[in-house]
Structure 1
Amino acid sequence: MRFLDRSQMRLFPRKGEVLILESLVSSIDASGRVNLAPMGPIVHGDLTEPSGMGVTFTLRPFVSSRTFSNLKQSKCAVIHVTDDAMLIARAAVGQIDDVDVAGLVRQIEGTDWWPLIDCHRWFAVEIESIEHDEVRSEMHCRVVRSKMVRPFFGFNRAKHAVLETAILATRTHLISADAIHDEIKRLTPLIDKTAGSAEHDAFKMLRRIIDERLADQ
């Protein structure tokens, strides 16, 4: 396993085309506590291949995150493809506690992999190498198991609007309030025109949290 200093690394920026999957990643700590976090792994290979064995991923958690600590210790993660906009939103803003997570995942017996019970597809991966500086990491993963759980809902503009709003909610310390409000104004019609009840509720929750975080600055 490699641990490189900044002068040796090429974590950012990347050149050329990079395919990023907006996913939820489950990991486990030394005490057996499962963490669920949104993450955009880089996809290498054909994600549509049925077995999943032809795909590898690069996870990029922040060094300060629970996910980084868990993966450094266990070397195991589960990467999920999901269309549950509310779950992504709750995970992004820390609205899922340990009790919630316990009801959402199920252990693969004899392993440290805890896939979501309800998702489109999951990939159980092993961490093969880690590179990091003081802020960000890259973890190169190989797929060990994969399973299709249920059909994917399909494209929906409101679900994507919730995803973009969840990302905004995690960046209130990086983006100006005016820029955030402009983006929410752009996304609101997508919710109004194409959302179901779950997407409406998720968008409302995220707007409340964004307002609270901006007010605290």
Structure 2
Amino acid sequence: MNDVIFETVVTTLAPDGRKHVAPMGVRYRGEQVVLMPFRPSTTFDNIIATRCAVLNIVTDTRVFAGCVTGRRDWPTQPVERIAGVRLECALSHVELNLSDMSDDAQRPVLNMARVHEVVHASFTGFNRAQAAVLEGAVLVSRLHMLPAQKIDSEMAYLQIAIDKTAGPGEHEAWGWLVDAVRRHREKAAASSAETTRGSS
């Protein structure tokens, strides 16, 4: 398997038609796309139920930052060959069907076969701020796991790229991430204060 992980957004539908949008690192193995969603997860449940997913290639980093800060309602459009939707902002999308699965209690491996692929817009190049937002989104997704000092030092470094190269979209996405860190700290402080009062 190619161990290079590519940051994408996977869209799935629940059996009742509810859409779900989730950033996900994927691997490519020949004509197959390999997904390794955590259990439990809505993405995993939807793929097992419908055997379908759509891989979205996007450069609008607001989607990544939005999904880790509670903003998952992104505009979508129906796709052509499977029961699914793609992001309107996707530069391209690949429609996938579940081929086979290696089960695992934490991270099952889903081998997805390519059914149909469409390019919607050209890729115009990398922006350092886009990479900074992606890294910031990963940090925010791990606020409950990482020490505050590590979060602060890495966010401070990433802020340099935001200050130098961000456009309006990246500034908006970064603002969501910074606010998420602040709210996490406030919630932790309030919980600590409540515990202290309860033990006094």
TM-score (norm 1): 0.82
State, as a whole percentage, how many aligned pairs show the same letter. Answer: 30
C-alpha separation in 2, matches of 1:141 and 1:73 = 14
Partner of 2:151: 180
Determine which structure has the larger strand proportion and give its number.
2
Q: Does 1:33 align with 2:18?
A: yes
Question: Superposition pairs for residues 39-78 of structure 1, below 5 Å?
Answer: 39-45=24-30, 55-78=31-54
Partner of 1:167: 138
Shift, 1:94, TM fit: 2.3
State the Cα deviation string for residues 165-205 of structure 1 (Å, max 9, x = none): 00101001111111010100110110000001111111111
Task: Identify which of structures 1 and 2 has the higher relative contact order when contacts are C-alpha pairs closer than 8 Å and 6+ apart.
Answer: 1
Question: Superposition pairs for residues 1-217 of structure 1, below 5 Å?
Answer: 18-45=3-30, 55-96=31-72, 100-101=73-74, 104-108=75-79, 111-217=82-188
C-alpha separation in 2, matches of 1:20 and 1:56 = 14
Determine which structure has the larger helix proportion and give its number.
2
Structure 2 unaligned spans of 5+: 189-200
C-alpha separation in 1, matches of 2:23 and 2:185 = 21
**Counterpart amino acid of 1:42?**
R
C-alpha separation in 2, matches of 1:34 and 1:151 = 26
C-alpha separation in 2, matches of 1:90 and 1:155 = 20
C-alpha separation in 1, matches of 2:135 and 2:162 = 12
State the Cα deviation string for residues 39-89 of structure 1 (Å, max 9, x = none): 0011223xxxxxxxxx31110111111101001101100001110011221
Aligned residues: 188
Secondary structure of the structure 2 residue equivalent to 1:41: strand
**Counterpart amino acid of 2:12?**
S
Find the structure with the greater CA-based Rg. Answer: 2
C-alpha separation in 2, matches of 1:93 and 1:60 = 21
| Counterpart contact for 1:81–1:122, Cα < 8 Å | yes
C-alpha separation in 2, matches of 1:137 and 1:17 = 17
Superposition RMSD in Å:
1.6
Structure 1 unaligned spans of 5+: 1-15, 46-54
Moved over 3 A (4+): none
| Counterpart contact for 1:63–1:135, Cα < 8 Å | yes
**Counterpart amino acid of 2:22?**
A
